[in-house]
Each structure stands twice: as structure tokens, then as C-alpha cells.
Amino acid sequence: MHKLIPFLFIIGLISSCNTDTVQTPKKQNTIQKGKPNFVYKTLPRLSRYYGKGIHFEDSSPYTLYSHNKQYYLKSFPYKHIHTSYGVDQCLGITFVYAQANDSLLYTIPRYFRINNTNLSNNGLHISYVNQHIYTKPLECNQVPIIFYNKDSLIKSYEYEDLITFPDSVYQESDWLYLSREDSISNWVSGNTVYWVEDTLYTITHNSKVLKFEVSSGNLFEQLNLSDYLTNLTHIEYPDSIAKIAHYQELDPLPLQLNGQAFQKSLATHLKLSIPSRKESMEKGHDPRYLYHFIHLSMFIHKDGSTSHPIVNARSGFLKNTSIELEKKADIYILNTKFKSPKLPYNLDKWRIEMQFSAKKTNKEIAAKEKQASDLIMCETDTISGVYIPKDLKDCMVQLDQMLDDSSKIKIKEGMPTHFGLGRWLRNNWGLWGGGRLACYFNEKGMDHADDISGVILGAYSMHLHQKPFHIDSLIKNLYQY
């Protein structure tokens, strides 16, 4: 018989703006096993993001207690974000205290999301599982499991160390859903990361149970999920407490020392004109001009200074223009100082992000930029090493070459493709306005990537069924609904 006492604290979505305490009743909770009948479908809990399973969750400060309530940690992000597409918010700071006298034991220079974070009973070890990975410039987004001993990172695991991935990026992800035919499989299906005393358990997409020693971070055992569940008779778990802090934000952004608003002042420095909200809502972007999309982030410190600017400027296909704008914005940010900002949670610094679109103030220059960008775009046949088809017929040829037989059969049988293969086409074939295929469809009166990918995949399904199709008919049918 196998008896488990896991530390259950999966809190759920953090959305409150007030101080909340999430607590289970003060008794030992027991789940008895029903009939030992487990049926497996598909779902990785420990999984790289492949276009499925979007999660929205606020990153908020919180206090989390060890199982024995003798220690607690306070974790603060340097920015509140919606952790969409699995983005792990790790920029922040964490303090660990002894409950007896509230004395600070140590500090870790990162934030841990409340889900899947555990503080050991001796207060020395923190283990954390980031179940949802997405490519971002932050290194910590790429590490799914980490272990700390006090303020030192002692062990971390890459996804490739733990699980396998689909052979083709065009495939839909495999997702494992445990059947809910008895109470234990029902509980495990929703709690695939948990702690039993000094052991971390996590369940992977290929039906493995991984057991890690919390004190060392060592992976010491791997079990087949079916064997693991078969040996369970009941699960007992104690209560846990987590307190979510009152929501604070740096809003509005303080004025610069010169009294000007930052965004407008930056745009003026870059010789850009930001359309008003009313103009954007009523008219949208004027197709005669090139609009530059600016996304930036930076830290604001207690004294009003700034640091660590990250600027991404997209100027259509004018790469040199993008680079020039990024360099100018970097210099401007580093030379900017704000008026005495009151930072959230009394932290020493806070991270802000903003984005806006703007065209050159000189309309003649903006029009010439648009013409130059469009010319390059419509001649672009390769983006990031990926060949871009020239027309719908070429799309059929490329899909035939890219997809294996099993994928073709699934598409032929009607498998949904919008969020799997469809997303890959939109992002890699430049359907958001990034290559000659987009130009081809623009000339046919289509400019939205979702619609374009729908026509391509609809045509491909007909192609697999050996049915004739014509692009004009496909477009007409699409816009009839």
C-alpha cells in the first residue's frame, strides 16, 4: 500500500485586489480511492508551450507558509503582468522569515508565482515548478524546475532533461487528461505538482511521475503513472495558508523632471507622431503611411532614475530604421529621470512596460517609408529560414512536404487546426503582414491573418480529399458567414 501526505496549495487564479486568505478547513483531509479504473487520453502538465493551453493569471505579491507554519516567505514581482501564454514572471524579490520572531533569514533576487511554490519545514529550501514555458528574453522563463538552498540556486532542470517533445512543430500538442472515474484520479488530474514531506512529485505529458529530493534537487525516481496510481489507496493532505497582498500599481506613470509625459516626449524625440485614441478608434491606421510599433520596458528606481531598457521597434521591413529607433530610445530612457515615484510595496525599483504605434511626423517621409517597406515585403520569400509560399497552389505543395501521413489523416478527418498548424502558418509564413504570401492575399482583398490561414487550411482539406477548389470561391464562402 502506498500512503501519501502531499502538501496541497494549488491556489487558483489570483485576481483579487484586496488582502485574501486562501485556507482549507483545519482538519486532515482524506480522499478515498474508488474503483481502480484509470483511462488515459492525452495532456502534458509539464509541457513546452506549442500553441495550446493559454493561461491567464495575475502575478501578485503574497505570503506563503511552510507546512508546519514555522516559516514563511513573501514574494514580490517587479511588475504585475497577466501571465498569458505561460509567461513566467520571475523578475522580483523574495524574503524568507522565521515565524517565531518575524526575523529575516535570507533573500532571493527573483519572484516565484504562488502556484507550484513550496517552502520546506526547516525554512531552508524553496522548490518551484514553472509548468508553462514560452520563449521570452528572460532566462528564468526557460527553466521549469528549480531548487534553492537558502539564497543559493542548487539545482535546475531544462525541459529537455525531463520530457520528450513532438517530432514536428506542426503537430498538435499531446495533452493527457486523466479520467475522473474515481476520487483519486480526479484529484491527481488537477494537482500534478505537489509535495510529500521532503519530496516533490510532478507528472509529465508522457505519463511519468518524477520524484525530486527537495533538499538537494536530485531526481531520484521515475515511475509509470499507471503503476503509481494503481498502488494508491487514499490521499491525505494537510491544510495550507497563503495570503495575497493588496494590489498596488505604478499608475499613472510619474511625469519626467522636465514636467513632460514620458510616452509623448519619447515619441517627439524619435520624430514620431502618436495618433490620438479617438483617431485610432474611428479611422485606424492610415494605409498611406508606415507605422512603427514600439514596445519597451525599463526599471524605475526610488530616486526616479531608470535602468535596463529593452526596446523593440518594428518598422515594417525597414530593419535599419528599426535599429536606429531602438538605439535612440535606449539612450533617451537612460537619460530620463522621473519625479519622486512612489513605488508599489515600497520596493527599491519597479518595472514598467508600454507599447504604442506611431508614424513619422513628416508625412512625406512616412509615405516613402511605407512604399519602401511594402516593396521589400512583397519580394520576401524567406523569413527566419522558413520558405514563404508565393500563392495558394504553392501552399499546397509546401504543406504536402511539411506534414507527415498521420497529420494529413487527422486534417482529412476534420481535426481542428486553427490553434495548432494554423497558428504556425500565421506566425511563420508572415501572414501578419510579413512576406509575399501576405501580399498575395492582400491583393485578393484579405488582410487578416486568421482569415488567410482559414482559407489555406480549408483549401488543404479539399486538396487532401482531391476536391477542386478556387481561391475566389473560398474567399467568398468565408465572408458569407
Which pLDDT tens digits describe the chain residue by residue (481 residues)?
333 333 222 222 222 233 333 333 333 444 444 433 332 222 223 333 222 233 334 578 899 999 889 999 999 988 876 544 444 568 899 999 999 999 999 999 999 988 788 999 999 999 998 765 544 445 566 677 899 999 999 999 887 777 665 444 444 333 333 343 456 666 666 667 778 778 888 887 677 888 999 999 999 999 888 788 777 666 555 556 788 887 788 878 999 999 999 999 999 999 999 988 777 776 678 889 999 999 999 999 999 999 999 999 999 889 999 999 999 999 999 999 999 888 999 999 999 889 999 999 999 999 999 999 989 989 989 988 899 999 999 999 999 999 988 888 888 888 777 778 888 999 899 998 778 999 999 888 888 898 899 899 989 989 999 998 888 888 877 766 5
Euclidean distance between CA atoms 236 and 197, whole angstroms: 12
3-class secondary structure, 58: strand
Q: Quick one: cell of 155?
A: 539545482
Query: Which residue in 366, 356, 365 sits closest to 280, CA to CA?
Result: 356
Torsion angle defined by CA atoms of residues 354, 355, 361 and 362, in that order, rounded to the nearest 10 degrees? 150
Q: H helices of 378-470, where?
A: 392-402, 405-412, 421-428, 436-443, 449-464
Euclidean distance between CA atoms 313 and 327, whole angstroms: 10
pTM for this model (two decimals): 0.69
DSSP sequence for 328-388 = HHHHHHHT--BS----GGG-SEEEEEEEEEEEESSHHHHHHHHHHHHHHHTT--EETTEE-
Query: Which residue in 34, 39, 84 sits closest to 58, CA to CA?
Result: 84
